[in-house]
Structure 1
Amino acid sequence: MANTTRFSALERVLSVLLTSNPTPVSFCSTLAVLALTFYLLYKFIRNLRGHENEKAEQEAQPQEAPLPPLLLKPWPFLGSLPQMLKNKPTFRWLHELMKRIDHAGIACLRPVSMSTDVTTKGFLTTALVPLGDQWEKMKKVLVKELLSPTRHKWLTDKRVEEADHLVRYVYNQCKASVDGALVDVRLAAQQYRGNVPRKLIFNTRFFGKGKEDGGPGVEEEEYVAALFTILSHLYSFCISDYIPWLRGIDIDGHEKVMDKVLGIVGKYQDPLIDERIQQWRHGIKKNAEDLLDILVSLKDNDGKPLLTADEIKAQITEFMIATVDNPSNAVEWALAEMLNQPEILKKATEEIDKVVGRGRLVEEADFARLNYVKACAREAFRLHPIAPFNVPHVSVADTKVANYFIPKGSHLLLSRVALGRNPKVWDDPLTFKPERHLKEDGSPVALIEPELRFISFSTGMRGCKGVQLGTSMTVMLFARLLQGFSWSIPPGEEAIDLTEAENSLFLAKPLVAMAKPRLLSEVYPGN
């Protein structure tokens, strides 16, 4: 933390970790510990007098509130690195430590990491970069050019096309039998979440040919899997984030993984981007049809291209990873919970029948009146967040949070799990109860949570800029699945297993459920 001694700051930094690192303690880990030992010893001896002087200055100016407590007693020189290497997955170990200390789910971390550096091509984007001129530039592009209400309306037909494609894909799997068929909900949800931004950006559904039933081909499956691997490694523990001169040695293998999956993403995206740049540069293309056209055609005050090729490629990658995960995870968890509580599933489908009927499919104009459906989605965001923590933030001034002093320059993160499952805020917090989100006056339910009682799309200056897009994609995915199909627990099973995966907050097993068409055949797209 900025105004504490550098040594105590490092101890706090080493006390936390966002996501798990599946690599076990090994010879490489031992080397890392030794390297860190020598590094800290060198820094400690070199700066001992400076630390003492700084500590004396701080003691002369007492703070009004205490600093957030350390989660555990750090080792001399090594901080908490040995415990972090030993306890896997680290985010679960960290949350167990958090339960012992009442500190409002706030911890300290360094948000500038190897993974975010390479994902954003040297911090050229918005969400994953520190505040500064580049962030300001790209934020304006994102808010004014890609995610504005006008642009959202302009892209309506593309979103509807992909919603129709989702229904057609599930229908093709279950229409042949009166008893329905088993459907992999995770696959359907994740691919829909991949298809929509691909359509918005590249004006295409598939990088390859897809499958005959409308499902993803090997190209899309590889691409989406790479996006989720990137997400799992963002802010995960990487030794070189703490010891920068180890960057390139790749002791824990993270750099190799990121290089591989970013190569996969680039293999599919970059040729399309390069081709489009050339089309605009040579006048072959003059009218914008998708978001890639918008990015390529932007001009600065001198009439030159506003964005470089690397800026466009990095921003598109960030756009894709920001849209593919959160809503698909929420819908999978919500449906899993509702299958175990059929009265909730019945209530949601009855609301859709009342608002929309069975003669047509749900449209975006219906969302405002689908309050119970949105309440189910909110409850999934609350109880089953996609990630253990939010994107780290940096305090721009000295402040107080939960009666703790947070110095300017501190790196802070919020525990999504601790917020959404906080018994001080939520009654019976571990139970899926959508009714808790309904308003007494019947006013519309929104997925965003500005009071941060849980995190769906975050809020504030660094909050998600795509709330409107994220909301429409979440509600459309959820409502179309509920309206178009009757869902039930697979034969031979008594209930859906709601166990969380060990190394993530996903369901341990992808949700596979029985689906039967519940509408007339002519309502389904393509029939």
Structure 2
Amino acid sequence: MVINMFVLRELSYAFILFFITHIFGRSLLSHYARKLPPGPTGFPVVGSLPFLGSMPHVALAEMSKKYGPAMYLKLGSRGMVVASTPDSARAFLKTLDLNFSNRPTDSGATHMAYDSQDMVFADYGPRWKLLRRVSNLHMLGGKALEDWTNVRKNEVGHMLQAMHESSCRGEPVVVADMLVYAMANMIGQVILSRRVFVTKGTELNEFKEMVVELMTSAGLFNVGDYIPSIAWMDLQGIVRGMKSLHNKFDVLLNKMLKEHESTRHERKEKPDLLDVLLENRDNKAVGEERITDTNIKALLLNLFTAGTDTSSSSIEWALAEMMKNPSIFKRAHVEMDHVIGNNRRLEESDIPNLPYLQAICKETFRKHPSTPLNLPREAVESCEVNGYYIPKGTRLSVNIWGMGRDPNVWENPLEFNPDRFLRVETMKIDPRGNHFELIPFGAGRRICAGSRMAIVLVEYMLGTLVHSFDWNLADGVELNMDESFGLALQKAVPLVAIVTPRLPPSVYYV
């Protein structure tokens, strides 16, 4: 009897051990037998969240100096791997691109993006591919961009006229306001066949504030996303703000949708992007992927917010850097005056003949990327990178800002020096996602859908502003180059400048 009890006990232990190792073994061994990338230890419950501070891109860049190009952080109950060098970014965004093709579900996607029904946060799949294909075909792709060249030209003309009138009155120009006004109207004409803002006023100011608030709140590290058990408390008030902002945008988007549907018959010969989306929604063919009203509103939100904020921010940073370095302005003017002259506006067809302007834009994308940390991705399955184990569900963040300021990648990285992109060895580097030293829009399947449009807008609008005016600060005003963290990297203090026309008055009027 004693022997039988002993055998029974041992068999019980063996069964329990077998159960643990075979049923739970993978998750246990992934953290103990398999080697995670190095990273900070963190605190109980909150993990490394306190280390991120108010400028996570800066904090993560500093941590990478200690822990290496791919580091692992425990943020609450979630794991996050951070790629901080071109090689590590390539491993995740190219070699393992498909495995990291989805976005994590967090408060921004839930409360701002209609529960991930948009193009930015949606899972990689048929609906996302459809939204992307329609957007490329009618707005963001190469052929579509050519088709609305005149829209850009006319809106830039309205902007120049307003700036010229301000200069005649001796009034300073708030750069971001001018840019958002022009870009929102460009996008409005492509999507809705009309200018969204006819005049600058309260409506435009509210829209700009809403866009900035969205891009700021969507980039914050919300504690509730990492410690789900306390998400209901909304300790930082982020979710409360998102819900309020979402309601404002929803009212605006519903109004756009309703007004547009009532005039669809007027555009049968020349449908705009929203008409195409509505046609897809109404398509009843069995077995075909269809877009819902919610998808349409979510996509419009993507296009209007990201399309105005990221590009305008890049242009504002470029002008600020040039005002800080007047020799760059002088050299840009010499190049433009030689190619364009002083009797007409810059045309988009001039840009290939302006290598210094293109170098200024690349240098801006390097030092002031529109998104300092790429939009997060998530591991669909566990995988291995450089000998390190990455568990399923791990968030991926690529520190684009950190790579742009890494002395191991760039010589004198804190210096704003467009000449670095005119050298033989770096001249062919471009920001379209193929050269991992410079990926301001990300790379791979989830590269920013509007990257082509952003490059066109930044080169054309920045070039036009530089060619058309001399730029100076008002007396007694100092140039502030501080950053404000968010989904997009804003200037903490908006650029306000005194502009002086360089061309004949007739050039500034539409």
Report the TM-score, using the length of structure 2 for normalisation: 0.81
Amino acid at match of 1:75: F
Query: Could you say which residue in structure 2 is the equivalent of 1:204?
Result: 194
Aligned counterpart in structure 2 of residue 496 of structure 1, from 479, 490, 506: 479
Q: Which residues of structure 1 form unaligned runs of 5+?
A: 1-46, 211-215
Q: Which residues of structure 2 form unaligned runs of 5+?
A: 1-18, 74-79, 82-102
Shift of 1:293: 2.1
Please tell me whether the aligned partners of residues 335 and 354 of structure 2 are also in contact (alpha carbons under 8 angstroms). Answer: yes
Structural mapping, 1:456-471, within 5 Å: 456-471=440-455
Structural mapping, 1:59-208, within 5 Å: 66-70=35-39, 72-81=40-49, 83=50, 87-104=53-70, 108=80, 111-176=104-169, 181-207=171-197
Say whether 1:392 aligns with 2:376: yes
Q: After the TM superposition, which of the residue ranges 376-385 and 188-197 deviates more from structure 2?
A: 188-197
Shift of 1:145: 3.8
**Cα gap change, 1:302 to 1:279, in 2 (>3 Å):** farther
Query: Could you say which residue in structure 1 is the equivalent of 2:316?
Result: 332
What is the distance in 2 between the residues matched to 1:417 and 1:441?
A: 22
Question: Residue deviations 1:95-120, cap 9 Å, x none?
Answer: 43333321247761773111112222
**Cα gap change, 1:276 to 1:183, in 2 (>3 Å):** closer
Please tell me whether the aligned partners of residues 57 and 399 of structure 2 are also in contact (alpha carbons under 8 angstroms). Answer: no
Aligned counterpart in structure 2 of residue 237 of structure 1, from 216, 221, 224: 221
Question: Residue deviations 1:350-383, cap 9 Å, x none?
Answer: 2222222222211221222222111111111111
Say whether 1:292 aligns with 2:258: no
**Cα gap change, 1:296 to 1:260, in 2 (>3 Å):** same
Shift of 1:278: 4.2
Query: Could you say which residue in structure 2 is the equivalent of 1:36?
Result: none
3-state SS, counterpart of residue 437 of structure 2: coil
Question: Residue deviations 1:485-526, cap 9 Å, x none?
Answer: 111233345x63323347884333211222101100111124
Aligned counterpart in structure 1 of residue 337 of structure 2, from 344, 353, 357: 353
Query: Could you say which residue in structure 2 is the equivalent of 1:28?
Result: none
**Cα gap change, 1:50 to 1:256, in 2 (>3 Å):** farther
Please tell me whether the aligned partners of residues 36 and 72 of structure 2 are also in contact (alpha carbons under 8 angstroms). Answer: no
Shift of 1:156: 1.9
Shift of 1:389: 0.4
**Cα gap change, 1:400 to 1:429, in 2 (>3 Å):** farther
Say whether 1:517 aligns with 2:510: no
Say whether 1:302 aligns with 2:273: no
Question: Residue deviations 1:262-283, cap 9 Å, x none?
Answer: 2222333321212323444xx4
What is the distance in 2 between the residues matched to 1:57 and 1:446?
A: 42
Q: After the TM superposition, which of the residue ranges 95-104 and 372-381 deviates more from structure 2?
A: 95-104
3-state SS, counterpart of residue 490 of structure 2: coil
Query: Could you say which residue in structure 2 is the equivalent of 1:479?
Result: 463
Please tell me whether the aligned partners of residues 106 and 415 of structure 1 are also in contact (alpha carbons under 8 angstroms). Answer: no
3-state SS, counterpart of residue 140 of structure 1: helix
What is the distance in 2 between the residues matched to 1:141 and 1:247?
A: 36
Amino acid at match of 1:252: Q
> How many residues are matched?
462
Please tell me whether the aligned partners of residues 135 and 273 of structure 2 are also in contact (alpha carbons under 8 angstroms). Answer: no
What is the distance in 1 between the residues matched to 2:219 and 2:175?
A: 28
Aligned counterpart in structure 2 of residue 383 of structure 1, from 354, 360, 367: 367
Please tell me whether the aligned partners of residues 197 and 323 of structure 1 are also in contact (alpha carbons under 8 angstroms). Answer: yes
Query: Could you say which residue in structure 1 is the equivalent of 2:349?
Result: 365
Amino acid at match of 1:100: K
Q: After the TM superposition, which of the residue ranges 152-161 and 131-140 deviates more from structure 2?
A: 131-140
Amino acid at match of 2:190: L
3-state SS, counterpart of residue 123 of structure 2: coil
Report the TM-score, using the length of structure 1 for normalisation: 0.78
Shift of 1:140: 2.5
Aligned counterpart in structure 2 of residue 508 of structure 1, from 492, 503, 510: 492
Query: Could you say which residue in structure 2 is the equivalent of 1:426?
Result: 410
3-state SS, counterpart of residue 244 of structure 2: helix
Please tell me whether the aligned partners of residues 192 and 272 of structure 2 are also in contact (alpha carbons under 8 angstroms). Answer: yes
What is the distance in 2 between the residues matched to 1:142 and 1:106?
A: 35
Please tell me whether the aligned partners of residues 501 and 508 of structure 1 are also in contact (alpha carbons under 8 angstroms). Answer: yes
